[in-house]
A = this chain, B = another copy of it.
Amino acid sequence: MARVFDPQKESQDLGFGTVLSKQQQLRLLNRDGSFNVKRFPPTLWEKLGSYHSLVTMSWPRFFLLIGIAYFAINVPFALAYYFAGPAALSGDQSLHGFLRCFFFSIDTFATIGYGNITPATLLTNFLVTIEAIFGLLSVGLVAGLVYARFARPTAKIAYSKNAVIAPYRGLTGFMFRLVNARQNELIEVNAKVILSRFEDRDGRRQRVFHNLELERAIVIFFPLSWTVVHPIDEQSPLWGWTDAKLREAESEFLILLTATDEVFATIVHSRTSYSASEVIWDARFSNMFVEEKGELSFDPEKLDAVEKLRS
């Protein structure tokens, strides 16, 4: 099944490519998990025609697009009815000209059919026949897109704003924590932490990737929060490093998460990263549990809360 991911492997660049791996002053992953590399931007046509963008764009933008398409379909039909002449439509004369034709088109496309205005000639009946199938197809397209937008498997993981380096079982540990920001249950949550930093190799300063061993890399349940811990023992690439050294090496901690969304039984992915400046040394995360009247409750608002330790 081919050679698998080997963090020790010299040329391991995770797919960012050699050019980017040599590039400095560049964060690889943004905090929201998107890639900090730009492809040529898609053309407008690619954007509109792309199913992926129709599914991933925001709801307001989506509804705006639907609205534009609604007019873009009705205006040509309205024009066709208009140029078919005054005898093309019979009935209600309270409106005239193009507007009358436009509202008749809406009446037809949306399959309302009040009947106050009706097609009066062979040509207009034929136009109605065509517009009706556009109406039916549009409902199908919109229903399909709306469902696809809904059913898209997404995780909304909230990560602590900062990672900390804190005492951990007689050693220190690199830690960050996360909560599930949705109401759905995530199970079998899997974390991978990769340290990207610049090192001098063969006389050249180049980006090197290190896989950080975790105290626990998978949790079966994720009802509340999870603090991911990399113990900094002698095997750790962070052993003996300091805040200054970490910054100087332009270090970045890449966080890759997969989990199973129980509602749809799909695998969801989440990514983020912490740059050296987002790591707080000699601090620990505050307790997220509050005791009130003998009952423990959990406060997700405290996700980012950190207590500085006296060093």
Contacts and interface: CB of A to CB of B under 8 A. Distances in A.
Interface of A: 1-5, 9, 11-17, 19-20, 23, 35, 37-40, 42, 46-47, 50-53, 55-56, 63, 66-67, 70, 90-92, 94-95, 99, 103, 106-116, 118-122, 125, 128-129, 132-133, 135-153, 182-185, 187, 189-192, 213-226, 256, 260, 262-269, 287, 289, 296-300
Given A3-B217, A16-B224, A265-B268, 9 more contacts: A2-B218, A3-B218, A14-B219, A37-B224, A112-B113, A113-B113, A114-B119, A139-B139, A143-B144
Contacts of A103: 119, 125, 128-129
A133 B216 contact: no
A129 B182 CA distance: 35
A300 B112 contact: no
A218 to B, nearest CB: 6
A82 to B, nearest CB: 15
16 contacts: A2-B192, A2-B217, A3-B218, A14-B219, A17-B224, A17-B225, A20-B224, A37-B224, A40-B299, A51-B150, A52-B182, A66-B133, A112-B112, A112-B113, A114-B115, A143-B146
A308 B287 CA distance: 48
Label chain A's interface by main secondary structure.
Answer: mixed
